A = this chain, B = another copy of it.
């Protein structure tokens, strides 16, 4: 399988890995907001939190792009950020795993 061709099995693994990364990142964001909210005592801090949420939403919307032609890059970015773990990719073609891993270290 080349990096642009994904077998049915690989597609299922990719969908599951993508979902796991998304759930990890969004759960971590919710936890972070729980902690930040406790520090908020006045309105400027709340607007700072609003700015932070705007930036995170934009970043997450852009990052989670499940299209096969770009998936190697999406996965390498997610691995670099720590949301995708090597074990999530088990069962993918070794060439894909290598590319994702190498790119995640750049």
- Residues of A with Cβ closer than 8 Å to B? 26, 29-30, 33-34, 37, 40-43, 46-47, 49-50, 53-54, 57
In the complex, are the beta carbons of B50 and A26 less than 8 A apart? Answer: no
Q: In the complex the two chains form, what is the Cα distance from A57 to B33 in whole Å?
A: 18
In the complex, are the beta carbons of B53 and A46 less than 8 A apart? Answer: yes
The complex is assembled from copies of this chain, and their number is 2
Interface of A is mostly: helix
Q: In whole Å, how far is A11's beta carbon from the nearest beta carbon of chain B?
A: 24
Set of chain B residues within 8 Å of A41, measured between Cβ atoms: 30
Set of chain B residues within 8 Å of A34, measured between Cβ atoms: 37
Q: In whole Å, how far is A91's beta carbon from the nearest beta carbon of chain B?
A: 27
In the complex, are the beta carbons of B43 and A26 less than 8 A apart? Answer: yes
Q: In the complex the two chains form, what is the Cα distance from A43 to B31 in whole Å?
A: 11
In the complex, are the beta carbons of A37 and B33 less than 8 A apart? Answer: yes
Nearest to A54 among chain B residues (CB) is B50
Q: In the complex the two chains form, what is the Cα distance from A37 to B47 in whole Å?
A: 15
